[in-house]
Amino acid sequence: MNNAAPETPGNRFELLVQSVTDYAIYMLSTSGIVVSWNAGARRFKGYEADEIIGQHFSRFYTPEDQAVGLPARALGTAEKEGRFESEGWRVRKDGTRFWASVVIDPIRDPGGKLLGFAKVTRDLSERRAAQEALRLSEERFRILVQGVSDYAIYMLDPVGTITSWNTGAERFKGYTADEILGQNFARFYSDEDRIAGRPSRALETAEREGRYEAEGWRIRKDGSRFWAHVIIDAIRDETGELIGFAKVTRDLTERRLAQQALDEAQAAVFQAQKMDAIGKLTGGVAHDFNNLLAVIVGSLDLARQRLATGADVSRYIDNAMTAAERGATLTQRMLAFARKQELRFQSVDCAGLVHDMAGLLKTTLGSSVTIETRFPLSLSFAHADPAQLELALLNLAVNARDAMSLGGRIIIEGGEATVLADQRHDLGAGRYVQLSIIDQGEGMDAATLNRACEPFFTTKGLGKGTGLGLSMVHGFAEQCGGALTLISEPGVGTTVSLWLPVAQEGPAEAQPSDTADIVAPSPQQLVILAVDDDDLVLTNTAGMLEELGHTVFQAASGMDALRMVEDGAIDMVITDYAMPGMTGVQLADAVEEKVPGLPVVIITGFAELPPQATSRPRLNKPFKQAELAQMVAAIAQTRTTDRFIRLAAHHPGDS
């Protein structure tokens, strides 16, 4: 017989409150005496329960707040208006201050008599510090822009109305801020340019392509003309919606003697802008590309299984093709440059890998180029990610082809070398596989060679290269523990060498045959909620789960998912991590609050997730149906086991 005290809603509520660590939740008497104390209050106020219960809550306030009677006013407001809410400085036990969000609610009996107050406090010190840092940064940036006198730097709204004006704009355009704010920027163009529609075309180009750059005649307030260099950048919010334009105009009619120096300064500014933009976008581009890979791999996996049964696979083929087309513009770009990709290291047979790439290289490089390979009879295996190594070699081969405008021969050469301690600054001691791409192109002089691996530096001309190719390969080599070297001579050609560590183990085992990935329907059918803001990924994930025999509901956002969790009996939630408005981790936390114990799987294309996500089940993109099935089955089994243990604990006599 179970003699344990029956569990009541009150007991459960008390346990819930006591377990909360991110909020201080405690009760006050009608006069403000602390009568209860939870773990969250103890964590960030510093008092143990026996130290603070029975004390007046005003001790948490600063001396200046106490002096003006703020604690008493807070209780008075809560009693009178039914709630008191504010933010302000509070004091910990050790005397340090923290910025707190405070809510005080009156507690009354059924007859309306005041019994006390419920007080919830949240530590917002980090958020306030971040907001203050952002404010200071924005203020410094505003002062910087306003202090620039050699450039007109100002903002436009989406239709071209001027919304800001700096000192440089006033100096050489002649308008004060009061005269020009609210006017359309087209007034700076000549009559013939306005009639030809050049102002509107400039904004359309910037909106469509992200940037517009040109030179031409512009008009000052006094009617005189000056030759201007103009850049217009589209400014978008986090959802991608256009919110306006940043316009930078430079007067090139003056200071002609300093033209070269100013051009170099401008190039440095543009370089910094590109670096800043690419740094912010790298993680997002990597995630998008992994999304596309997830669709392609998953769709083809499903198509292969359905093809075996004679079913229609056109939907999955179309899904994969759409994703592949979207991914074409993302290939060979940001991951290696950012050093953020998650490499899958294994022992790689470099000679075999190059041999297997023969068809791809011939198709990509074209008929004007002949390819010659030189490998020794025996070459150690390299420690690398084979997929990324293929991409790196393809990048180098394309660069070699582009360096030979009239065509020629490209040599792919393999070798092995031993590096001694302190022999090279870029490599540690050990054995390395050296893969070299040798071309007969025009070569590079010393100045160009020194800058060849800089991000965005390119010798291919405006609009003909991103300047990220060698940066990508350099980043990949460093992640593998190796290096990239360049040898070039004008008129002779260039040799680019990848140095990769020799693998300690033997060759990677052969991958299992395709039939090993065919997954039988799950014996335990579940109701699963799939969540992703990308329609292709969502459709693909749902299709995989349905093929396993599960009932699947779909949600395109975290808020939609929460409503569906509240409305229906869901056994499991499988959600993307990176979603606008609410991340997968935030969704998981919200689900835990609404339905404690409901398992949530985080699917992600990022190599790293926030610390709070490490305790949750995670599935990396791209994934196959077998991996998804294994994850679902493991979680379902764990949940079943936990439920059995809980039942046995509550009813020991039944076991």
Q: What is the pLDDT of residues 130-166, one digit of tens each?
A: 777 777 666 666 665 565 667 888 889 999 999 988 8
Per DSSP, 365 falls in state H
Contact, 463 vs 477, CB < 8 A? no
Q: What is the pLDDT of residue 414?
A: 94
pLDDT at 376 over 90: yes
Q: What CA–CA distance (Å, rounded) separates 269 from 612? A: 38
CA angle 40, 41, 45 (to 5 degrees): 120
Enter the pTM of the model: 0.38
Residue among 597, 602, 609, 598 at smallest CA distance from 628: 602
Q: Beta strand pairing status for 527-531 and 572-576?
A: parallel
- Within this chain, domains 9-124 and 148-254 share the same CATH topology: yes
pLDDT at 327 over 70: no
Contact, 550 vs 505, CB < 8 A? no
Q: What is the pLDDT of residues 197-255, one digit of tens each?
A: 999 999 999 999 999 998 888 888 898 888 888 899 999 988 889 999 988 888 887 65
Confidence of residue 463 (pLDDT cuts 50, 70, 90): very low
E strand residue ranges, 134-241: 151-156, 211-219, 225-236
Q: Please state, rounded to an integer, the average pLDDT across all residues of the chain.
A: 80
Mean pLDDT of 585-604: 90
CATH 3.30.450.20 fits domain 148-254: yes
Between 56 and 511, residue with greater pLDDT: 56
Helix (H, G, I), strand (E, B) or coil at 254: coil
CATH number of the structural domain 350-501: 3.30.565.10
Confidence of residue 516 (pLDDT cuts 50, 70, 90): very low
CATH fourth-level superfamily of 9-124: PAS domain (3.30.450.20)
Q: Buried (b) or exposed (e) across 396-421, using 16+ Cβ within 10 A? A: bbbbbbbbbeeebebbbbbeeeebee
Q: Return all residues near 22 (Cβ < 8 A) that are at least 6 apart.
A: 40, 122
Q: What CA–CA distance (Å, rounded) separates 392 from 394? A: 5
Q: What CA–CA distance (Å, rounded) separates 522 from 631? A: 12
Q: What are the structural domain ranges in the chain?
A: 9-124, 148-254, 350-501
